Chains A and B, each alone.
Chain A
Amino acid sequence: MFIKLEKVSFTYLPGTPLAITALEDIDLEIERGESIGIVGRTGCGKSTLIQHFNALLIPQSGRVLVDGVDTGKKGVPLQEIRRKIGLVFQYPEDQFFEETVFKEVAFAPHNLGVEGKELEYKVRWALGAVGLNFEAIKDKSPFELSGGQMRRVAIASILSMEPEALVLDEPTAGLDPEGKRIILNQLEKLQKERGLTLIIVSHSMEDLARVAKRIIIMDSGKIKFDDDIRQVFSQVEWIRSSGIFPPVTAQVAWLLRERGFDVTPGVLTPQELAEEIQLKILERKKANVG
């Protein structure tokens, strides 16, 4: 098992009147190469959860194992865990500080002792992996880029460590539809072609419908639901109680089924929904002719 959580609990300001339990007895297993969406209303514990994956937070009780290594044990090489599991925070471009895109993306591997040709190779690859042209962008200031480009440079600056998992907190927040599409496509490609494990925290179910296969719903510090994305989104009414609104397509499918129009529940994209509806219209026509 790649990442395993066993009865993980975490409380902020424990033992004070302001104590807030962010995670309660979380059990979770993540395999290499999975693409997972983590959803839930603000304050449900999502961000606390993902910071446990790369040992930024250590469980107060229970344990987290990354490739079998307990992140809470004394003497564990945390640097290696953090290289393996790259974490991209919300609005990561707010943390830019270098003068050029090259230096920004090179920062982490350079700190790990990578130099010269090898460093350039890693930066080139990471920028390419987010769909940016190395030659055209390497000498620019990260601050003069568009919002979408900044976000991609920020992701590249984590990819340059060649992580085995990429954990992203709201990677498309604030981006326009085009910027969003490019990032989601590149992430999907990395997951499919390189077997990168992808874990995305998002409020946009439409975004997750494009890239995730498995959905984890969190509610008040607990995992309320953990299943295949189609299973999750076919239960339109139920999941609303956790503050989750299924993609518009799944809502339409649900309404149609309520009115006796028997499409498959949990359809994820307009293409799928349209095909389903077209099939049903044809069936109905045939039945009428017959």
Chain B
Amino acid sequence: MAVAWVDGRNVPVADAADKAAELLSASFCPVFSLDTDVHGTRAAIALARRVGAAYDQLDGAATARETAQVTDKGGLFIAPGEARRRADLIVLVGALPAAHHDLIAELAATRPDLGRRGERRFFLIGTEAKAPAGVKAVRLSCGEGLEAALAALRALLAGRRTALPLRNFEAFAGALAEARFAVFTFCGQSAGTLALAMLQGLIADINRSRRASALHLPASGNGWGSTLASAWTTGFPLRAGFSGAGEADFDPWRFDVARMLAEGEADLHLVVAGNPKRIATPPAAMPLIVLAGGARPVAGAAVAIAVGAPGVDHDAVVYSSRTGTLAAVRAERPGVLPSAAAVLRMIAERLPQSEAPPC
């Protein structure tokens, strides 16, 4: 099986890694887009440090919004396991990615068993949010967007008047008054930074006299896992970049890799992704290095190396939105394809003046 290509030609992996190292060494402004496990992220950051690259989540806007809530404001959060055992009122704030529908269905099929035992009630906020199949939820909406509905809800709970009525507010206020622990789910895919900040304001208000918290169901599990690994490795979340001296900096605008590519700041794009179809064809003059699943060359890629899928082809550590922390996953079908981490380390070893990666 072919596993590595240079300009679309089959080559040994070592040759492809040589070529990748050569391109990275020649680049003035390399950028990395990641969608990988924790060890893949650690290896990618080590490589980024060596070559002075910026790095971001692939399609990282939603992950960046979730990050901004923590870096700019903070908030109150709850672990998924604790929500399952304790929440008797669940509010789905905005639409959730399909990956989280099973968890919501599971919450609907179970009852809280800690504290006062009772039914779990569900509400939805926003006109576009839909309850997963089998989940009965009452919609709170004022006919405008998610931000407006959250603002109206917060104002009404504080006893203030609003310009627009919020449908089903009384039902919610009654449910909240009876609830022991309210949990609001959120995801950066459907909620913008204003909505996330308003939600945390609402939760802070409720916590003056009662208990409530927010359940983070990330837009990308890999995105959040990489955010955590980046934080301990460099002190910063994703959208960080390294100077030539190996010093990290964090700037969610400056190191937004999609922006850097669109505005022509970058001169090399390295992508680590499970699915090669997610990778856009680059401009002709832009070298593209791809580490992705699949046994085909990637259109327009100067270098492509097939890597195994975490938890499928090789053991891995990934963020589990089911437990709210990092989890070890065993390979479902251990295979011969190397991990992204192994390939990234192989490339780093081939850089000139090679030294041991710092992580």
Partners in one complex: no
- Residues on B close to A: CB < 8 A? none
